[in-house]
Every structure is written in C-alpha cells, then in structure tokens.
Amino acid sequence: MVSGTLFHCRKSSWPPEEYITRATLQLLDYDSATPPQHAWRRKLNTHPSKLKEFSITFMEAMKMIRLGLRLWSYVREEASHGRKAPIDPFTRESCRPSASQGVPLGGMGSGSISRGFRGEFRQFQIIPGSCDASPVMANQFSIFVSRDGGNKKYASVLAPGHHDGLWKSGGEGLSSWGWNLDGQHSTYHALFPRSWTIYDGEPDPELKVSCRQISPFIPHNYRESSLPAAVFVYTLVNTGKERAKVSLMFTWANSIGGISHLSGDHINEPFIGEDGVSGVLLHHRTAKENPPVTYAVAACETQNVSVSVLPCFGLSEGSHVTAKDVWAKMEQDGQFDRENFNKGPSMPSSPGDTHCAAVSASAWVEPHGKCTIAFSLAWSSPKVRFMKGKAYHRRYTKYFGTSEGAASSLVHHALTNYKLWEGEIEKWQNPILQDDRLPDWYKFTLFNELYFLVAGGTVWIDSAPPIVESQNIRDNFKKKNKKNKKIKKTVVKVDKRKGATVEQTTMNGSVNDSYVGSESPEDTNSDLDDDDEKVNQITKKSHPSDKLSASMHDDDDDVGRFLYLEGIEYIMWCTYDVHFYASFALLELFPKIELSIQREFAKAVLCEDGRKVKFLAEGNIGIRKARGAVPHDLGIHDPWHEMNAYNIHDTSKWKDLNPKFVLQVYRDFAATGDFSFGAEVWPAVCAAIDYMEQFDRDNDGLIENDGFPDQTYDTWTVHGISAYCGCLWLAALQAAAAMAIQLGDSAFAEKCKAKFVKAKPVFEAKLWNGSYFNYDCGSSSNSKSIQTDQLAGQWYAAASGLPDLFDNSKIQSALQKVFDFNVMKIQGGRMGAVNGMYPNGKVDDTCMQSREIWTGVTYGAAATMIHAGMEQQAFTTAQGIFTAGWSEEGFGYSFQTPEAWATDGHFRSLLYMRPLAIWGMQRALSMPKASLEAPKLNFMDRIHISSHHGTPNSRGETGVRKIAGKAGCFGNPVLHCAC
C-alpha cells in the first residue's frame, strides 16, 4: 500500500457542502439519503455540451483509402443480411452524443438502461450488440405537493425541461406536463452503483427531497449482480409548518428504444404482489422477432404510503387516456383510482402509438417530519438470441425462471432486499473511500469507471446448452455449415479414468481422441487419483464471497458464461487485446467470471477454424482462426462458435495476443491459487508459447514484428523488435516458466527459461538507448519514439508477483521519460499520456493512434509507475484522464469514457472497455498476498537447463498432473518451490 498522502493541490474533490447547504445535509442524514463525501457531482441546470468526434488528417485518409473502400463494401454486405458490421465508421447515431450520462441501472449481463445525471433514461441495450442512445422522455419521475387547506400546490417533472424533441408530441403529449424544475438548487451525486439526486427546495421551497438510485452490483455475489433491477428510494423532509401531502409518479413507456418503439402489439397490465409491492407490467414485443421484454414498474405500499396505478395512457391526441389527462388527474387528486388494479391487460398498441404506464405513491409528511417512498424498475428478457440464430437463457433466469412473470418477482425482490444490497456495497467501498492517503478524485473515479460492466453491452448466460428454437433454424445452420470449409476444434482435458491428458479433436462433426501426456491409456499411474484429490482440496479454498443472506447467496462454482463488448462502436465480444487492460476489474471483483473468460480463450487457442476470411487492410484472404493463435475476440453474431469478428488484419499474425494470454492466465492463476484452472488451461499456455516461435526468425529468442500494425495499436506500424511486443514476450516467457514450475512441468520451464535468458540481453541491446526503450529497432522516422506502453510486460510481471524484467534503474528511467514527455508536455499533464512522443518533445504524428491519448493505456502506465515506487508520477498521470474526461472543466466523458481522445479533446469510440484498467492501479496499491506465490527473484537462474530443452517434444514427453504429483507441487496451496 502507498505511504503518505497522494493528494494534489489541483481541485480534484467537491465536498457536498459546495453543492448542498449544510442544513439540508443534516436534514437528510437519514436512511442513507445523504450523498457520500466522495462522489462525482453535477448541478441539474448544467447544460450538457455536445461531444466532438475525432477526425483523421488528409495524409491519414490517403493511407487508409483502400481500407476505407473495403470496409464500406463489407458494411453494406453485412447490412444486406440484416446484420451490423463489428466496425462501422460510416453510420452515425441519430442522437448526437452529449455530456449527459450518469450511473446506469441494473446488474450485469441482462441488458442495461443508462440514466443521465438530469434524470433522463437512455442508452437502451436490451438486445445484444444494439444500443439506442436517444432518451425516452416519457420515462420520468414527477412530484405533486399539496399542503393543508390546498392553498399551496406544487407540481413538476423532476427533471429540467430543456430537452430536444420534448415538444413534438403536441398539446396532449408530454409538453402538457409541468416542466418547472430549473435545477439551480438540485444536484446529482454519483458513486457507482448508486447515485443521489438532491432537490433542495425544488419545486416546493419547504420540501427537501433525496432520490437514491441503487443497483445490485455486488462484488463476489454472482446471484444478485446478475439481476436486471434497480430501486429508487425517495426521502422526503418537510421543513414547513404545515402538513404536506406528497405524491410521486413514476411513468414508463412500453419501449426499448430503436425501431421497436412504435412497432405495435405491446400490452400493459396492472399487478398486485406480496408485501405491498404493486405496479404495472409492460409486455414489449420487439421488432425483427427479437426475444420479448417485460418491464415491471412498481412501488411499495406501507402504513404511511398508498400506491395506485394507471395501467395505460398514450402520448397522442387520439389516445383513450392522454398524457395531459394523467397530469391533470395527479394535480387534482395526487393519485389514481384504486379500481385500476382490477383492469386486465390493455388492448395491444397500434403501430405508431406509444403505450405508457404510471405508478403513483402518496404519503402525508408532518411538519418537520420525514418519510420514505421506494419505487423499483425491473425488466425481464429471459432469452438472448444472437444474429446467427443461437439462443440462450440469461443468468438471472437460474433464480427467477423464464416466464414473463419474472419481472414482478424481480421488483419484489429488489424492494425487499435493497438495504442488504447497500450494506454489502458500503462494506466493499468504505475501506477505499476512508483511505486518507488516496486522492479524492481517484476514489470516486475508481468506482465510477465500473459503469462499463453494466452499460458496456454485457451478456451473462446460464451454462445450459443453446436453446433449440425451431427446425427451420437447425436446417438453415446445416445448409450454412455445408457451404463452410473445414472447422477443426481441439479441446484439451484430463481423462481421470485413463489418467492422461487428452486432445479431443472435432473435424466436421466427428470426434477423435489423442493423448498428449507422457503415458498411453494403458500406462496409468495409480497416484493420479490422489493428486486429483489434492487439487480438489486446494481449489475448494476459493475467493471468499460475501453473503447477503443464505437464500440470496449463490455458492455454485458454475457462474455461466460472460461476454462484454469492446465498446458500443466496436461491437466484438471480449476483445482480448483490450481485455488485457480491463480484466483487472473482473479479477478483483468477480474472479470466477474472469477465470471463465480465460477458459473460453484457452479452449479457443486449441481450435482451428478453416473458413476463409477477407482481411480488409490489404484485401488478402486467410483462415478465420489458426490453431495455437489466441483469437482477437469471441465473435459477435455467433459468439464462442465463430470467433474473430475483427477482420481488418489477420490477428493470427499479431504479436501481442499470445503473450497477453499467457500473462493473464498466470496472473489469474497466481491471484486465485486455483490449481484446477491452472491444469485446465496449461496445454493452451504451452501451445500459445510454441505458436510464437515462428516469429523468432533469427533464433535470438525474441519475436519480431512484421512491418504492419500487428498488435493492439492496429494503425501504428512496427518493424522488427518492438518495445511493446518484445516486453510482453519477455514477461510471458517468465510467467510461463513460473507456471510450469508450479504445475511441475520442468521441461517446459527449462525451455522458457532458455528463451528468456537468450532474449533479454538482445532486447536491451537493440532497444535501450540510455533512458528508455525505443519504439522498435527499425529505421523509420518514429523508431526512436517514446511509447507510453513500452513497459506493458513489466506491468504484468509486477502485478503477478514475478521478478522485474529489468534493473530497477532502467524501469524508473523509462517511466520517468514517459512522465516527462508523454504526460507533462501535453497541457502540463492535464490530459493523460499521449501514446507516442518524439525525443524532441513533439507528439508522434506517424498515424492516428500514435498521436492519441488512450485512457486505459494511461491508467496502465500509472499502475506500472505505482509498482515501481513512483506514486506521485502515477497519480499525476492518471489525474489527467480525470481532469480531461470526468472533471467539470473537462470534455464531458463521464460514464462514457472513450478509448481515446486527441490533444484537442476530440474523442474516438465512446463507452469503451479499456478504461477499466484503473483497477490495475488499485491492484498495484493494495497487491493482496496471492494465494499462490511466484518462485523467488532468482528462479530463472536456478532452473536447470537440460541438454534436450530445445527439442520440439519437451512438453509432449510429460503429463502435467503426473509431474506435479511427483514434484509434490500440489501439497500446499501457498507454494515456495522451485522444483
């Protein structure tokens, strides 16, 4: 942990007292209604600015013109099949992005809805890979206040009324409502997964209102965190001398945004549940035969709170009950008729019409009294179907079933358990929030960047096989598969019965088993069963998972399958070169999900997909996936079965994916101490290392780049040995050797050690220039550029408890160079770290990406600095991302942090995965004692190198579990052995 204070003199914290009077804070100090000391804040009258999208220079456009033409053709071809291309720079959203986002609703993987800081619900992502950014303005909270005698009345929508398109619905529509809130005395406070909106005397000067939004994002709780539900708790404080009747109304449109909004056949119906929970179900029939969605909008009736509903109203003049009628009824009575609960389902909506529902909750608040009213929103879309036909049940259906009625069960669960949610959230967050050594901006930005795990297009399914929906779908897939070329899939597993490691190969549907361990099926070692039992005993000591209650906690190790998008503009699931940065958040908070993703990629490494693909950068043809290569992503329209949706370059020739796989696997293995995971993925680790040997063309132990952008910087060309890929490779060799030792595969450890010992001096001789590592060893104009990410491999070595790759003096010198040039020479460090900088202090303008500031890379560099003992530089570096992206003086990227921005603030790719790398900083700050310790500092020198270490068969001669048993590596969950 850091020592001393890391707080800087720049304004990086806004105490709530600067936004809310101290007297109001004291009045609201009840039932968690007061916003926290550390939070992101905005006044509701802040006008959200439009964001500026990036543009490329004329020279960049000329270099990419052929790629652009091929990409345009590909986008059109995909559209002709009713599909979205994973990368489409030509189609722009109708809703221009603005600085208006806030904390999203719900847990992970069941679709998401974002909510802007001014109260609008937007960014609907219920259908996988589809995002509608436009706000649905009928979705609102409104307040109606009447004091004794009826002399004082106040009515207002609890959101400022200056929204584009609000007045298009005519006099009977939403424009007839009371959009009276100015927002000058109302403020928003965000600390994900909660937010607080404080109405300090608006619209009633004698009423203080706190709206607390709570979602079930609870680390290590794999049940509650999958639930598509949120709670809104209103705390009302009457400072007047008269009793006040306060009615709150929650209205919701039967819509998921996009083209199905007005498609028709949507139905609303009221419901009364247990424990006073009642409301309206809104059954939405989605367009294009996507799975249906059911919303539940509900409130909780108590002794002091009365709940009523209006199951259906419209926004146009022809509606039976119009929006204007709704407002008039609430202004007059403050509630709806009780008999509305007896109404059955509404008539289906007609195409072009919007059906909405309203739930009202009313209470009397005595003079100087307090009252709490709770609402909930849930949505149930139990089936997720991808574009090429496969369908699965979402994770939450394991607990709430697959019927439409699950939505009413979800709101009931939310309204009766949200206090338990909050208790667990506070237990998780408080140790960080109360650490006075950390800057305030870091505390709340750390938590708020987690918004992406909800709003980043996540899908979380149960582990059951795909749902077979119809014979037609099966027939269509048979026809398609006949057209496709051979698809070879290889799965490596341990056959406990035969006592050997087995490669199971599927070739066009037929299965063959081949044994890759040292023994044939007949040569079974009787000790293996004992070893397996030891493994089971070790892996039972999993990461402690906090319990909400016995009934709410899920002890099942099977956490299903999890996907999250690279970003809402780059639609690919679990993009691996970016997951390298983002995965620190999952490892820290949901390690079982992280391990499940690594298992998916481990399986993929051992698969070959021989279908032909056209790569758009050069127009050449290749196969979709080579055996031994780590895929770029898990696909988009048929995830897990059709990987590598990315088709700009042939990623089987990329130089960073395989080392990143090895590094992530070792980090996760070391952090969790999960030996069953280690044994399961070990064959893929070996295959990933072996695959890279083809790129060491001069046999110096180092891989070489091939003169095209063959790594995550996919417009930034690299020649020969490079700092980024070379450093990753050195770290991967070290990690593979350490893992081999701990799993007992000494031959492979010797092989990796030999490569490392050979490669390291070559790397330093070719790239070290006395103060940093050159970009590459080529002779191009930017070969001596200072790359922010030059020590990415060192970052992972340190984060995994492995020895440093280089002398500490070199590590600190390179990082100081990055800090002095890439950070501080860009507006005094107020924007983050630019990717490339020439030694003369000018930004490397070789390409678009070299001149960009990548948010996640900046966080990664800051994490590397913390590991190197350079905390002051680290927090100054990361604070540039906060200042430019999250602060009031910045560009407005909060809760939509982009992949990149230029030095003029123009962004590229909003809502992007990589900024989750800020959790790499948190790991560097806390570095918990791993369940599994790495071998000691000089372990690479202590490995005996046998005379046959270089033979191709070195791994094939040994069975991982058998060797581990002989070496005694499984005898203790905390290992110190060097075997």
pLDDT digits (tens, 9 = 90+) for 841-866: 999 999 999 999 999 999 999 999 99
The per-residue pLDDT for 164 is 57
Structure tokens at 894: 């909060």
Type of residue found at 306: S
Q: Beta partners for 40?
A: 190
- Contacts of 498-505 with C-beta under 8 Å, sequence gap 24+, read 498/524, 499/524, 499/525, 499/528, 499/962, 500/524, 500/959, 501/683, 501/959, 501/960, 501/961, 503/606, 503/683
- How many Å apart are CA 801 and CA 939, to the nearest integer? 13
* pTM above threshold 0.85: yes
Which tokens belong to 744? 């007992």
User: pLDDT at residue 63 above 80?
Assistant: yes
- Strand ordering across the sheet containing 510-515: 510-515, 500-507, 487-495, 608-614, 621-625
Whether 43 has a pLDDT exceeding 90, the answer reads yes
- Minimal CA–CA distance to 271: which of 294, 305, 292? 294
Q: List the single range of 156-165, 671-680, 780-789 with lowest mean pLDDT.
A: 156-165
Closest Cα to residue 825, out of 853, 857, 795? 853
- The pair phi, psi for residue 909, each rounded to 5°, is 65, 85
C-alpha to C-alpha distance for 974 and 466, rounded to whole angstroms: 39
DSSP conformational letter for 226: G
Mean pLDDT of the 716-721 span = 97
Q: Is 304 left (phi over 0), alpha (psi -120 to 50) or beta?
A: alpha
- Among 76-85, 244-253, 750-759, where is mean pLDDT lowest? 76-85
- pLDDT above 70 as % of the chain: 83
Query: Would you tell me how many other CB atoms lie within 10 Å of the CB of residue 803?
Result: 15
- Read off the pLDDT of each residue in 819-837 and give the average, rounded to a whole number: 97
Quickly state the pLDDT bin for 12 (edges 50, 70, 90): low
Count of Cβ atoms closer than 10 Å to residue 81 Cβ: 9
**What confidence score (pLDDT) does residue 168 get?**
55
Mean pLDDT score, 881-885: 97
The residue count of the chain comes to: 979
pLDDT at residue 162 in the model? 65
Rounded mean pLDDT, 242-257: 95
To the nearest 10°, the Cα dihedral for 654, 655, 657, 660? -170
Predicted local confidence at residue 940, as pLDDT? 66
Answer yes or no: is pLDDT of 960 > 60.
Answer: no
pLDDT at 930: 56
Rounded Cα gap, residues 462 and 447, in angstroms: 27
Give the C-alpha separation, 717 to 850, whole Å: 10
Tell me: cis bond preceding 631? Omega within 30 of 0 counts: no
Split at pLDDT 50, 70, 90, the class of 16 is confident
* pLDDT exceeds cutoff 90 at 152: no
Q: How crowded is residue 638: how many other Cβ atoms within 10 Å of its Cβ?
A: 18
Query: Can you tell me the distance from the alpha carbon of 634 to that of 615, in angstroms, rounded to the nearest whole number?
Result: 17
Token reading at 560: 């299903």
Reported as type and span, the H/E element at residue 979 is none
Q: How far, in whole angstroms, is CA 610 from its chain's centroid?
A: 31
On whether the CB atoms of residues 663 and 805 are closer than 8 A, the answer is: no
For the record, the structure tokens of 617 come out as 């950068």
3-state DSSP assignment of residue 381: coil
* Alpha-carbon span 22 to 713, nearest angstrom: 49
Dihedral angle, C-alpha 409, 411, 417, 423, nearest 10 °: 140
Highest mean predicted confidence (pLDDT) among 142-156, 552-566, 636-650: 636-650
Contact 216, 224 (CB under 8 A): yes
pLDDT tier for residue 547 given thresholds of 50, 70 and 90: very low
Taking a C-beta distance cutoff of 8 angstroms, is the pair 220, 321 a contact? no
Q: Give the whole-angstrom CA distance, residue 739 versus residue 666.
A: 7
Q: Which two tokens stand for residue 814?
A: 């390179």
730-787 pLDDT, tens per residue?
999 999 999 999 999 999 999 999 999 999 999 999 999 999 999 999 999 999 999 9
The distance of Cα 638 from the centroid of its chain, to the nearest Å, equals 20
Rounded to 5 degrees, what are φ and ψ at 276? 80, 5
Q: Which three-class secondary structure state does DSSP give residue 37? A: coil
Tell which residue, 251, 291, 348, has the closest CA to residue 126: 291
pLDDT score, position 288? 81
Q: What is the pLDDT of residue 558?
A: 87
**Contacts with 807 (C-beta within 8 Å, 6 or more apart), sequence order:** none
Instruction: Tell me if 637 sits within 8 A of 645, measured CB to CB.
Output: yes
Residue with tokens 């303008």: 845
Write out the DSSP string of 122-133. Answer: EEEE-STT--B-
For residue 594, how many C-alpha atoms fall within 13 Å in the half-sphere facing its CB?
26
Hey, what amino acid is at 877? Answer: T
Cα gap 703→687, rounded to integer Å: 16
Average pLDDT, the chain: 85
Closest-CA residue to 356 (of 380, 403, 334, 324) = 324
Q: Measure the CA–CA gap between 166 and 195, rounded to whole angstroms.
A: 25
> What letter represents residue 233's amino acid?
V
Q: Is the pLDDT of residue 539 over 50?
A: no
Alpha-carbon gap, residue 865 to 862, rounded angstroms: 5
Both structure tokens of 699? 């046999």
End-to-end CA distance of the chain: 31
Are the C-beta atoms of 935 and 653 separated by less than 8 Å? no
* Cα–Cα dist 363/236, whole Å: 10
Q: What is the pLDDT of residue 970?
A: 28
Q: Name the token pair of 126.
A: 């219920």
Q: What is the distance between the alpha carbons of residues 98 and 42, in angstroms, rounded to a whole number?
A: 14
CA nearest 736: which of 672, 692, 790?
Answer: 692
Query: Residues 297-312: what's their mean pLDDT?
Result: 97
Q: How confident is the model at residue 166 (pLDDT cuts 50, 70, 90)?
A: low
Distance CA 605, CA 502 (A): 15
pLDDT category, 801, cuts 50, 70, 90?
A: very high
